[in-house]
Amino acid sequence: MPLVVLCGRPGSGKSRRAAELREALGGPERPAHVVAEAEGGRAELRAEVERRLSRRDVVIVDAGNELRSIRYELYCAARQAGTARCVLHCAGGAGGPDEPPFEEPEPSCRWDRPLFTVRGEEPLPLGPIRAALFESTPPPPHRATRTQPLQSCGFLHQLDRVTQDVLAAVLAAQRSGAQPGETIRVPGVAEGLVLSRPVSVAELSRLRRQFISYTKMQPSDENLPQLASMFLQYLSRSIQ
């Protein structure tokens, strides 16, 4: 049932570490599965992780998971399943000019902890990883929603408004003649969105619903300043 989320730049040794973890954590009574990045992109990876999560299996995500929003989605999947999890950061490697920027995991963010970091040929910290996965008590699903109802209501209102504003900006830019490859700017957000193709209202609305369904699992005021950026990152990764 536990989930191990690997992250790191290309060439940092993620696949090798995933194989090591599978050998170390799996066994006859506790299968370990490695879920790698697929052609279907972010949505297919997330769906495969959710399908693999069970009461006894270990799921190891061998992917870049370079954006906070991706790691947050996997955090929500584990929280919903009621399973322990950890993040293994494979430091090093070098991203090419076409690679998305890598957002370093931060132990202060709940979706990035417990966080373990390995560099080069350093041995895996298997003892602490096992303790995090097999000896800790995972939080129950939706605990934050139950214990912070007033905060959650305000969060969900803001989530709805921010995502509507982002979609409005994207649609307005397309109506104004923005071409694939151009950067679409959203007022008040430093980063932009570069689309590889035109996107319909129906597709944008579907992606917005998906983003909301994952994000509302963990309503928290600490995420409010990042909602627009997280949604832009989600759109960037989901629109291929």
Residue 56 lies in a domain: yes
* Spatial distance between the Cα atoms of 105 and 217, rounded to a whole number of angstroms: 20
Are 62 and 180 found together in one domain?
no
Residues of the chain with pLDDT > 70, as a percent, come to 85
Domain for residue 148, yes or no?
no
Per-residue b/e over 205-239, b at no fewer than 16 CB within 10 Å?
A: eebbeebeebbbbbbeeebeebbbbbbbbbbbbbb
Say what the pLDDT of residue 5 is. Answer: 96
Predicted confidence at residue 151, as pLDDT, reads: 46
Residue 122 lies in a domain: yes
**Rounded to an integer, what distance in angstroms lies between the CA atom of residue 51 and that of residue 69?**
20
Sheet of 85-91, strands arranged across: 32-36, 58-62, 3-8, 85-91, 115-119
Q: Is 78 helix (H, G, I), strand (E, B) or coil?
A: helix
Q: What whole-number distance in Å separates Cα of residue 27 and Cα of residue 223?
A: 38
Regarding whether 171 and 129 lie in a shared domain, the answer is: no
Query: What pTM, to 2 d.p., does this model score?
Result: 0.61
33-55 pLDDT tens trace: 999 986 567 778 888 888 888 76
Same domain, 19 and 45: yes
- The answer on 35 and 125 residing in a single domain is yes
On whether residue 92 sits in a domain, the answer given is yes
The verdict on residue 140 lying in a domain is: no
Query: Pick from 105, 103, 46, 104: which is nearest to 80 by CA?
Result: 46
What domain range includes position 18?
3-135
pLDDT digits (tens, 9 = 90+) for 226-240: 788 888 888 887 886
Does one domain contain both 164 and 120?
no
Is residue 58 one of the residues assigned to a domain? yes
Is residue 169 a part of any domain in this protein?
yes
Which parts of the chain have pLDDT scores under 70?
38-40, 55, 95-98, 139-154, 217-224, 240
Question: How many domains in the chain?
Answer: 2
Is residue 143 one of the residues assigned to a domain?
no
Domain of 129, CATH number, reads 3.40.50.300
| Strand intervals (E) in the chain | 3-8, 32-36, 58-62, 85-91, 115-119, 183-184, 193-194
